[in-house]
């Protein structure tokens, strides 16, 4: 409670120092802008021998006086600008002296169209056109000249309004694109989290379930075998817990600690799994009752890109999980073949031939309508890397999964003549 009270007191004490500064600048902006009609009125008549250069300079200064207020209250700035324009026109000045105020009024209307709703922008545009047409007879002579001037004023104002509307639509479109991009990023991140959690948990839970069943059946007749099953369950559970902590720690890595929230415990710093951990995955699958034959082809000693390494490992892991859970076969084969530009991963089992699509290494249909999300996750991993993926039953029985992940080509060194 004391800390909260101190923070509140400090914040409240700092507010009065900021608010008066804003009020002072607002008052100054209004005072400076209020001088615009007078400067413009007298400016169009100033100077010895009615010097055109001096009057143009004073007209420009008068327009500049409105800039501080136009940033805060463009509607009020437009009103003062129209008052000054009409007042200056009543002195019968040279037409060129009012070009700048007219353009400034049109620009203000365009700004209002871009920033304000139409219920404000349209009345402002109509009022501006009415004032400009009312001032036109003082700077024109003859009906034809007045009509030409009125058309020019209307077209200029319409152009300013259309430009403002275009800016408004472009801003709205950019906002929509940003919102859509953010939504797509959130969806992609949710899918990535779902894939990671599924891949971390599914394999281990399958192994644990099988070992628990084995232990339950032999605990009375073969205590040693039951102890081995329990040891496997303990080891697999600890590895799964470490993987979950690593995944959750990565998700929280970008979260900044606040004074009111306790600092989270540091996440394990183990690297993400890859094909180097394939032997450990094969061993855990063997503990679950499925023997895995691994064939390694190509130059696998060279390091793989981290994202490719992780995707290949997860595809093998999910496929072996589905073999353990669905294939009803004691063995399967894993082939990892690296070429210059592709990493090929194949998982094949010889399970019984069935018409149902949820058996074997895939465990779901080609479109992901099975009982899980294995095929969906593996296909997404391959697609995100620009690779190819296929899964389906084999003609002679069993199931096969194939993923071809592209690799970056090695960069050639400088050629010597």
Residue 399 belongs to what domain range? 289-408
Does residue 307 lie in a domain region? Answer: yes
Q: Taking the CA atoms of the chain, what radius of gyration do you get in angstroms?
A: 38
122, 139, 156: which is the final residue of a domain? 139
Burial of 79 per CB tally in 10 Å (0-12, 13-18, 19+): middle
Other CB atoms within 10 Å distance of the CB of residue 390 = 15
Using the CB atoms, write b or e for 204-227: b if 16+ within 10 Å.
bebbbebbeebbeebeeeeeeebe
pLDDT on residue 402: 93
Percent of the chain with pLDDT over 90: 14
Does residue 78 lie in a domain region? Answer: yes
* Phi-psi label, residue 342: left if phi above 0, alpha if psi -120 to 50, beta otherwise: beta
Total domain count, the chain: 2
Instruction: Provide the edge-to-edge strand list for the sheet that holds 399-406.
Output: 291-298, 331-338, 342-349, 399-406, 388-393
pLDDT on residue 390: 92
Q: Is pLDDT above 50 for 258?
A: no
What residue has token string 């408004």? 168
Those residues with Cβ within 8 angstroms of residue 53's Cβ, 6 or more apart along the chain or in another chain: 47
Rounded to 5°, the CA angle 267-272-278 comes to 135
118, 139, 160: which is the final residue of a domain? 139
Does residue 175 lie in a domain region? Answer: no
* Cα distance between residue 320 and residue 283, in whole Å: 11
* Cα distance between residue 30 and residue 40, in whole Å: 16
Does residue 171 lie in a domain region? Answer: no
Does residue 414 lie in a domain region? Answer: no
Query: Which helix (H) or strand (E) is 400 found in, with range?
Result: strand 399-406
pLDDT on residue 259: 43
pLDDT on residue 16: 46
Decide if 107 contacts 157 (C-beta within 8 A). no
pLDDT on residue 17: 46
Query: What does the chain come to in residues?
Result: 417
Q: Is pLDDT above 80 for 202?
A: no
Write the CA distances from 115 to 79, 108, 195, 392, integer angstroms.
17, 10, 44, 57
- Mean pLDDT lowest among 15-29, 111-125, 166-180: 15-29
Per-position DSSP letters for 372-391, written without gaps between them? SSHHHHHHHHHHHTT-EEEE
412 pLDDT tier (thresholds 50, 70, 90)? very low
Q: Is pLDDT above 70 for 128?
A: yes
pTM comes to: 0.49
Mean pLDDT of 157-169: 91
* Cα distance between residue 186 and residue 337, in whole Å: 34
270 pLDDT tier (thresholds 50, 70, 90)? low
Does residue 389 lie in a domain region? Answer: yes
pLDDT on residue 48: 58
410 pLDDT tier (thresholds 50, 70, 90)? low
108, 139, 170: which is the final residue of a domain? 139
> How many angstroms separate the first and last alpha carbons of the chain?
77
pLDDT on residue 261: 43
pLDDT on residue 3: 44
- The CATH number of the domain holding residue 305 is 3.30.565.10
Burial of 150 per CB tally in 10 Å (0-12, 13-18, 19+): middle
Other CB atoms within 10 Å distance of the CB of residue 330 = 12
State the average pLDDT for the chain: 78
pLDDT in tens, 307-358: 899 889 989 988 888 888 777 888 899 999 998 889 999 999 887 754 344 4
pLDDT on residue 317: 87
pLDDT in tens, 20-45: 777 777 777 788 778 888 888 887 77
Identify the top-confidence range among 107-121, 179-193, 200-214, 275-289: 107-121
Does residue 167 lie in a domain region? Answer: no
Rounded to 5°, the CA angle 234-240-243 comes to 145
* Cα distance between residue 380 and residue 191, in whole Å: 9
């Amino acid at each position: 409670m004391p800390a909260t009270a101190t923070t509140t007191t400090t914040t409240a004490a700092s507010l009065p120092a900021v608010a008066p500064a804003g009020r002072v600048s607002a008052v100054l902006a209004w005072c400076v802008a209020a001088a615009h009609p007078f400067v413009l009125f007298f400016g169009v008549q100033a100077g010895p021998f009615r010097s055109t250069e001096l009057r143009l300079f004073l007209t420009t200064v008068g327009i500049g006086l409105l800039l501080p207020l136009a940033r805060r209250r463009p509607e009020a700035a437009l009103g003062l600008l129209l008052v000054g324009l009409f007042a200056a026109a009543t002195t019968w000045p040279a037409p060129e002296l009012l070009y700048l105020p007219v353009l400034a009024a049109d620009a203000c209307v365009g700004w209002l169209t871009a920033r304000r709703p139409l219920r404000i922008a349209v009345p402002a545009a109509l009022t501006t056109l009415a004032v400009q047409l009312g001032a036109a007879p003082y700077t024109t002579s003859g009906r034809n000249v007045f009509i030409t001037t009125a058309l020019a004023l209307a077209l200029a104002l319409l152009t300013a309004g259309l430009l403002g509307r275009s800016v408004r639509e472009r801003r709205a479109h950019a906002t929509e694109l940003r919102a859509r991009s953010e939504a797509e990023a959130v969806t992609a991140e949710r899918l990535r989290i779902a894939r990671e959690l599924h891949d971390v948990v599914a394999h281990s839970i399958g192994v644990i379930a099988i070992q628990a069943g084995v232990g339950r059946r032999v605990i009375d007749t073969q205590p040693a075998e039951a102890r081995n099953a329990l040891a496997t369950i303990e080891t697999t559970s600890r590895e799964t817990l470490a993987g979950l902590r690593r995944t959750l720690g990565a998700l929280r890595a970008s979260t900044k600690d606040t004074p009111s929230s306790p600092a989270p415990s540091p996440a394990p710093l183990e690297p993400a799994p890859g094909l180097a951990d394939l032997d450990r995955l094969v061993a855990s699958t063997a503990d679950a009752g499925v023997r895995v034959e691994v064939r390694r082809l190509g130059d696998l000693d060279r390091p793989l890109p981290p994202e490719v390494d992780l995707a290949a490992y997860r595809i093998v892991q999910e496929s072996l999980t589905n073999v353990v859970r669905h294939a009803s076969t004691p063995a399967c084969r894993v082939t990892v073949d690296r070429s210059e530009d592709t990493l090929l991963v194949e998982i094949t089992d010889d399970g019984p031939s069935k018409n149902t699509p949820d058996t074997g290494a895939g465990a779901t249909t080609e479109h992901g309508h099975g009982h899980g999300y294995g095929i969906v996750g593996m296909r997404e991993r391959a697609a995100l890397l620009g690779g190819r993926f296929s899964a389906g039953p084999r003609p002679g029985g069993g199931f096969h999964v194939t993923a071809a992940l592209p690799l970056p080509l090695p960069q050639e060194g400088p050629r010597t003549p």
